[in-house]
Amino acid sequence: EAFKEHGIFDKKTADLFRYNVLEKGNSEDPMTLYKNFRGTEPQLEPMLKNRGMK
């Protein structure tokens, strides 16, 4: 959703994702990495919509 909101070529979003998720690898809990990237817990609604369930 972050890339849908800001565009796939948004440098700030890409840098935040790279730093907070990709560079950390499996060194921290995935939920912590996600919250550091998005600033909030994940929402179920976008995933359901993406998979055609909503």
pLDDT in tens, 6-52: 999 999 999 999 999 999 999 999 999 999 999 999 999 988 988 99
Q: Which amino acid is at 43?
A: Q
Q: What is the CA radius of gyration of the chain?
A: 12
| C-alpha span between 42 and 19 (Å, rounded) | 18
Query: 25 lies in which domain range?
Result: 2-50
Q: What is the pTM of this model?
A: 0.77
What tokens does 41 get?
A: 């817990």
Contacts of 6 by beta carbon, 8 Å cutoff, 6+ apart:
12, 13
Structural domain tally of the chain? 1
| C-alpha span between 20 and 4 (Å, rounded) | 18
